[in-house]
Structure 1
Amino acid sequence: MAATVASSHSFGGGLHPLQAKGLLAAAQQRQQQQQAQSQPQLHPCMLNAHHSNSQHQHRRHDSSQPPQQNNNNNDTGGGFEMATRKPQLSDFHRIRTLGTGTFARVVLVRPANGTEIDRQKVYALKILRKTEVIRLKQIDHVRHERQILKDITGHPFITSLQASFADRDFLYLLLDYIPGGELFTYLRKYRRFDEEMARFYAAEIVLVLEYLHEKQGGIAYRDMKPENLLLDADGHIKLVDFGFAKRLGYKDDQHPVETYTLCGTPEYLAPEVIQNKGHTTAVDWWALGILIYEFLTGYPPFYHNNPLEIYRQIVEKPVLFPASPEISEEAKDIIRSFCTVDRSMRLGNMSGGAARVKAHLWFKGVDWDAVEQKRHKGPIIPHLSHPGDASCFDVYPEQDVNSETYTEEMFEKYEKYFEDF
């Protein structure tokens, strides 16, 4: 399957007269600080995947935050039944690795004990090495991911946390297994989606953002991209990888608290993130506009091998549409409405929130109750032979090459941050 994202795209047109010098200086400084944190391509089940061209170039960048303690000590996050104790690694039989990263590995597992029916169930177990979480300054992100997944488990279009636990060296997140693979893989295969397909997936994403922003106290997801959207057996999306998600809360009834962490994937970053002006849940609506554009064309509107050039394009250039493929005026309008630099005028972030998104002409005729209830199968049905089929995922080495010891000194200093696992 040929990748549809080229190293650069030029559609002509002039630049907005915005000054990028300060932006680029700040971005260069951040990039130097972050190079050690760049991660290789990871499996979609909760790992930090990246968009790629033929050279598999990274799209994910982050800046560190100091750890913050949380006194919530709930044992489990979801539906895995351990009546008298927390789960432990020996409760599961390891089937195969689904993906690996700098400090995490996801493996397909099934219960080692229980009834025959129990042993037929499969899960995705995310394993995080404590030493690497500490070294890469990811303590806060890992803790946020676990807590947010615990709070939102059960939504039809979001991965579900079944349990969390820990041992001396590792943290574990037990998640539902989503067998269909990344939506990005199918986008590469199809080269682009027609508008009906794009609308189907976008509608499900709208419901996810409505839930996170308006029903869960202002959770900003902050890493929307096709690599983080998996397909279930019926072709519906499941949003995964909440490592950059953050519950912002609200200053008042309408205005979420701002945050300043530079995190996400370059092609999908909103201008206010790049300019370090403080950002809110509005960044997710910008990213949805970029995502719809990519669905319809096969590539994002802002792209370059150098992330700094991507940042410059986002700040200075409007979204421009190619002559081919033909895109409807309604689709162009919703993309422009999402990708509005002034976030106070950005669709989804204006008064009315997600309700105004649903009322947009591009979504005319969509039965939102039917979408939420998944009454219709998706336009792409993964080819699966059984519930534990992992054929949609690449084969990875089973050996963990990193074996740095979690020392007594590290235990004394950092274990308090992992107690609620």
Structure 2
Amino acid sequence: MPARASQPYAADLKLESCRLEDFEVGRVLGTGSFGRVSLARHRGTGLVCAIKALSKAHIISHLRSERDILRQLDHPLLVRMHGCCQDEQCVYFVMEYVPGGEFFSHLKNKGKLSEEAARLYAGEVLLMFDYLHTQDIVYRDLKPENLLLDAAGHLKLTDFGFAKAIGAKRTYTLCGTPDYLAPEIILNKGHGKAVDWWALGVLIYEMLAGYPPFLDDDPLSTYKKILKGVLTFPPHLSVTARDLIRKLLQVDLSKRYGCLAGGVNDIRSHPWFRPLDFAALKMRTLQAPIRRHQQL
């Protein structure tokens, strides 16, 4: 179902109560192990949105946790939930529609990004995690597939199925994508917000190299590489990029950037980020490297 150009995306619109019948449901945007996401339009307001259908066969507490986290969040770099409804089979999350598609697809088409482009997108992920962590939420599932591009080419984080409100506590659930798992998740020793900073290091590497740093043919071999923490870099990566990646991909939590006394400021003030104007990035006044209608 094509979205009319005149229809608002209205990220801040809240639907306090709604039914599935209130929506005109169109084409499927994506599917996964947890459900199906479809493009839709609210009949009453004309709101273009994405509806995530989740089977009730899943653990109800898991759905409630994701719903409660989505209701709590309010940030321009995070996909928002407008409302939710249900029928006998499914729970439906009515989500903000982000028209630019998955960052993964753009990255795959391009192969890799310039350091300037990767820096801006890494900065946006840093702002996402900084906000989530101030809300005492750990995300735990960063990967290019969970980053969407808006119409201006900026990132939005989606899929909070593995996100968890933890405060200062640790959690022990094994979850996430193998290439992006932090060592402490693999070892099941308990983990916290530090796993998100590890994942940021993996993302920066993948954006610059075109593949993740611990890539292997099977997950077990990937896990072994992660636990060893041995990094090799393509020759085109700058000295400052290598240094930041090493500091984020520290197996030892006491040495990992984001976990030290300086917190997120250690990452933000690193020389690799020096050319990036974080104030302008936060205000969304910087031009994004990827445009929705451009071919990479």
Is this a same-fold pair by TM over 0.5?
yes
Question: 2: distance between equivalents of 1:196 and 1:140?
Answer: 42
Of 104, 113, 128, which residue of structure 2 is paired with 1:208? 128
- TM-score, normalised relative to structure 2: 0.92
Deviation of 1:78 (Å): 6.4
1:124 aligns with 2:50: yes
Higher strand content, 1 or 2: 2
8 A contact 1:78–1:150 mirrored in 2: no
RMSD, aligned CA: 1.6
1:161 aligns with 2:81: yes
Deviations 1:336-394 (A, max 9, x none): 0000011121101111211121111111132211101100221010119xxxxxxxxxx
Q: How does 1:61-76 map to 2 (within 5 A)?
A: none
* Match of residue 221 from structure 1: 139
Moved over 4 A (4+): none
> Runs of 5+ in structure 2 lacking a partner?
1-10
1:284 aligns with 2:196: yes
Specify which structure has the bigger relative contact order, considering alpha-carbon pairs within 8 angstroms and separated by 6 or more residues.
1
Of 144, 168, 182, which residue of structure 1 is paired with 2:102? 182
8 A contact 2:229–2:251 mirrored in 1: no
SS in 2 for 1:192: coil
Question: 2: distance between equivalents of 1:260 and 1:80?
Answer: 33
8 A contact 1:109–1:123 mirrored in 2: yes
* Match of residue 292 from structure 2: 382
8 A contact 1:106–1:126 mirrored in 2: yes
* Match of residue 69 from structure 2: 148
8 A contact 1:156–1:372 mirrored in 2: no
Question: 2: distance between equivalents of 1:333 and 1:140?
Answer: 41
Deviation of 1:101 (Å): 3.0
> Runs of 5+ in structure 1 lacking a partner?
1-76, 251-256, 385-421
Question: 2: distance between equivalents of 1:225 and 1:103?
Answer: 16
SS in 2 for 1:381: coil
Aligned length: 284
Deviation of 1:319 (Å): 1.4
8 A contact 1:79–1:163 mirrored in 2: no
Q: How does 1:61-140 map to 2 (within 5 A)?
A: 79-82=13-16, 86-112=17-43, 114=44, 118-119=45-46, 121-131=47-57, 133=58, 138-140=59-61
Q: Given the superposition, is the C-alpha separation of residues 262 and 110 from structure 1 closer, same or farther in structure 2, using an over 3 Å criterion? A: same
Question: 1: distance between equivalents of 2:54 and 2:232?
Answer: 41
Task: Indicate the structure (1 or 2) with the bigger Cα radius of gyration.
Answer: 1
Question: 2: distance between equivalents of 1:285 and 1:172?
Answer: 31
* Match of residue 4 from structure 2: none
SS in 1 for 2:129: helix
* Match of residue 273 from structure 1: 185
Of 156, 161, 169, which residue of structure 2 is paired with 1:243? 161
